[in-house]
Structure 1
Amino acid sequence: MKLIKALALFTVITASAQDNYNIVVGTYTNACQSKGIYVYDFNVNTLEAKLKSSTDAVINPSYLTVTKDKKFLYSVNEDGAKSTVSSFKYNAATGKIDFINKKDSGGADPCYIINDDKNVIVANYTGGTISVFERKADGSLSDTVQVVKHTGNGPDKSRQEAPHLHMVYFSPDKKYVFANDLGTDKIYMYSYNADGKAKTLTLKQSFSVKAGSGPRHLVFNPNGTFVHLLQELDGTLTTLDYTNDKLTSVQEINVNPNLLGGKHGAADIHFSNDGKFLYATNRGDANTVSVFRVHANGMLSMVQQISTQGSGPRNFIVGPNDGFVLIANQNTNNIAIFKRDKSTGFLSYTGKKIELCSPVCLVFTANK
């Protein structure tokens, strides 16, 4: 009987310890030869990746999002005035992606996309709009049910001549959708009504950041009490207290304090799964990833800064076991694989890369 119980326990532990995951990759297709969206089988122990499947002739699916049940995938198709948003069936076991439909994006050059059980929401960079689409039962997209148009500009006449929506992001409680506008140096906070159709998003407030900084991506601290905002144009990383549904700036630091006179291009920001470290990529003349220790009061202190082993680092992902980080280097056509020390947060390059045309967005999913 003891042997049977021991074997049963071993089976449960083995079943719960997942070694392989899917990595879904969105790319640009206008810079080199790319089929669009790729799915890799990735082993978290060996850090080896094997191509599982890909789409064919999908235009510039630079950012994508997978539904919670892993049955559907949505991507932007960044193509100027002809930009669209696409829906796909997604089979996690095989990695197969099957096109369902696509709709006009409601603004030029969509660059970020999120979903929940009811809606798909897109940030249109050049168009300066936020578009809301309903998710139908078969996974297809409706026409836009709401398009929110921003107005204004900023001091950088070459980059801030108009609104440029760069991200939409659900608050942890799903009460709000936050939108970062690089063109107006503002974070917009919208009340979210999932069944609201033309009134899905209602502006609650906006928060101005340093003029000319260009807010790009943000992330909530795992405890939900702080927001960390990465600004593209000057490499500023701002920590904001998020109490009583209001934002208050409490710290401003730089992701590359030694980049004197150099060009910033701050891109993406993510926490480790344990919430103890924050990571941020910077393009331009830097091409680095910066590592920050997160203190109990929400403040950050830099502990490491290293090369991303490529040019134009965009999106990156921290492994589900916190043991590694993958960084998409858009300009050098590779995804660099780093080991991660869980106690120090430090990254070390493994020498391994996934060679792929113009990778931008990386998403982990279970493979079954």
Structure 2
Amino acid sequence: MLSQTSFFIKEEIHLSASQPRLLLFVGSYAEADDPGVYTYEMDSASGEIRLLDQATGMKNPTFLGVNAERCKVYAISETTEGGERIGEIIAFDLDSAGKLRELNRELTIRPSSSHIQLDRSGRFAVVSGYHGGNVGLVELRADGAVGKLVNEQQHEGQGADPVRQDRPHPHSVAFSPDNRYALVADLGLDRIVVYSFESETGRLVYQSEASTPPGAGPRHLAFHPNGQWLYSINEVNSSLSLFSYVEATGELVLQDTVSTLPLDYAGENTTAEVAISTDGRYLYGSNRGHDSLVQFAIDPESGRLTLVEHVSSQGGHPRHFALTPDGLHLIAANRDDNLLAVFAVAPGSGRLTFTGRTVTVSKPVCVKPVWF
């Protein structure tokens, strides 16, 4: 049984008593002595970005989870226990000036974690273990601090690619719109594994699974706003898969798969992030190698994708990107050029135009824009 502290106390917390501010939280590859998590404020009209704070003391805090209502930021990190690698989560309080203060940290799964996702209630976090083939459910306490690992699931098997898919590689988790299911993208198995999320008992219970095409390598997932379609961006073969989603059972059925690359591109490439516009009309993905952002139009009847265009990500290895909550901008995190690049999103067409605004950040690999 979970402790009573797993239930958040309902209260209103705001960063500012005036109008909301658009903040960006950035995670990066970093050594513990160097800055690894950054807070920026972004002007939602101009796209201008200014640094508010940066935090040290974490090794490779590559992915972040943000709870805006509770003014909490969660970062994964790598550490050791008894000479063995183990993942951890660090919780931060965020004050009215955008400053980060470490609240606590707790160990999670071995040997490390690659991704963190908060459930829609903010009471739990799920961490994905790319290197260990495992997924861990972590309790978050009433004050927002990180609690203990309460459940762990181990994947088994292999995929079609003997190099990239010799064993399980859970890369990320997405919660269903109703928070009843946790869907795990396992790159190594070519599977989306669906777990029933039992929040009262703190358990992930196997429900079902669906397969991408062999050798695809699902990496990250995005639900369409209508809740009926799920999109998987597939790292190994640079593709996007559309699944129909059955809300009652969590069942997924593969409908279509398309390439993220131009027909005439023959170089090496892996994909990274996927996101959908708030109006549900467009899907965006990132290509590492081709170093581009790809835009698709979403058919409103079937969910199938039609290519709109590719645009340069303005840097090497766009490992992550995000649309701002107002839908006016896209920020691309180009790891190899230490660069955040800001794009304007055209109303109606959804097309991307580079604004000329950039921010230098050491090896950025996650960007989370949130209203506070």
Cα offset for 1:16?
Answer: 9.0
Q: Deviations over 1:129-179 (max 9, x none)?
A: 001111112322223111111111112222111111101110001110000
**Letter of the aligned partner of 1:186 in structure 2?**
R
Cα offset for 1:101?
Answer: 2.3
Alignment CA distance shift 1:104-1:33 (3 Å) = closer
* Residue 267, structure 1, aligned to residue 261, structure 2: no
Cα offset for 1:33?
Answer: 8.4
Aligned counterpart for 1:115 among listed residues 110, 113, 118: 118
What is the CA–CA distance in structure 1 between the aligned matches of 2:225 and 2:19, rounded to whole Å? Answer: 23
Aligned counterpart for 2:136 among listed residues 110, 131, 134: 131
- Give the SS at the match of 1:110: coil
Cα offset for 1:324?
Answer: 1.2
Question: Where in structure 2 are the equivalents of 1:11-50 lying within 5 Å?
Answer: 18=20, 20-30=21-31, 34-50=34-50
Aligned to 1:83: 86
Structure whose residues are more often helix by fraction: 1
CA contact (8 A) 1:328 1:336 kept: yes
Question: Where in structure 2 are the equivalents of 1:122-201 lying within 5 Å?
Answer: 122-197=127-202, 200-201=203-204
Cα offset for 1:249?
Answer: 1.4
- Give the SS at the match of 2:337: coil
Aligned to 2:54: 54
What is the CA–CA distance in structure 2 between the aligned matches of 1:218 and 1:246, rounded to whole Å? Answer: 15
What is the CA–CA distance in structure 1 between the aligned matches of 2:65 and 2:157, rounded to whole Å? Answer: 29
- Give the SS at the match of 1:331: helix
What is the CA–CA distance in structure 1 between the aligned matches of 2:78 and 2:270, rounded to whole Å? Answer: 19
What is the CA–CA distance in structure 2 between the aligned matches of 1:17 and 1:321, rounded to whole Å? Answer: 14
What is the CA–CA distance in structure 1 between the aligned matches of 2:183 and 2:160, rounded to whole Å? Answer: 23
What is the CA–CA distance in structure 2 between the aligned matches of 1:33 and 1:356, rounded to whole Å? Answer: 16
- Give the SS at the match of 2:40: strand
What is the CA–CA distance in structure 1 between the aligned matches of 2:188 and 2:210, rounded to whole Å? Answer: 13
Q: Runs in 1 of length 4+ with deviation above 6 angstroms?
A: none
**Letter of the aligned partner of 1:234 in structure 2?**
N
* Residue 288, structure 1, aligned to residue 288, structure 2: no
Q: Deviations over 1:216-237 (max 9, x none)?
A: 0110110001111110011111
Alignment CA distance shift 1:95-1:128 (3 Å) = same
What is the CA–CA distance in structure 1 between the aligned matches of 2:116 and 2:336, rounded to whole Å? Answer: 22
Aligned to 1:12: none
What is the CA–CA distance in structure 1 between the aligned matches of 2:188 and 2:94, rounded to whole Å? Answer: 38
Aligned to 2:209: 206
What is the CA–CA distance in structure 2 between the aligned matches of 1:259 and 1:127, rounded to whole Å? Answer: 36
Q: Which stretch of the first structure deviates more once superposed, 111-120 or 48-57?
A: 111-120
CA contact (8 A) 1:88 1:97 kept: no
Across the aligned residues of Structure 1 and Structure 2, the Cα RMSD in angstroms comes to 1.9
TM-score by length of 1: 0.90
Aligned to 2:66: 66
CA contact (8 A) 1:87 1:139 kept: no
* Residue 223, structure 1, aligned to residue 226, structure 2: yes
Alignment CA distance shift 1:233-1:77 (3 Å) = same
Cα offset for 1:188?
Answer: 0.1
What is the CA–CA distance in structure 1 between the aligned matches of 2:70 and 2:308, rounded to whole Å? Answer: 36
What is the CA–CA distance in structure 1 between the aligned matches of 2:160 and 2:368, rounded to whole Å? Answer: 34
Q: Which stretch of the first structure deviates more once superposed, 109-118 or 183-192?
A: 109-118
CA contact (8 A) 2:76 2:90 kept: no
- Give the SS at the match of 2:70: coil
- What is the total number of aligned residue pairs between the two structures? 348
* Residue 254, structure 1, aligned to residue 259, structure 2: yes
Aligned counterpart for 2:336 among listed residues 317, 331, 334: 331
**Letter of the aligned partner of 1:69 in structure 2?**
E
Alignment CA distance shift 1:45-1:231 (3 Å) = same
* Residue 102, structure 1, aligned to residue 116, structure 2: no
What is the CA–CA distance in structure 1 between the aligned matches of 2:33 and 2:362, rounded to whole Å? Answer: 6
CA contact (8 A) 2:229 2:245 kept: yes
CA contact (8 A) 1:236 1:253 kept: yes
- Give the SS at the match of 2:182: strand
Q: Greater Rg, structure 1 or structure 2?
A: 1
Identical counterparts, % of pairs: 29
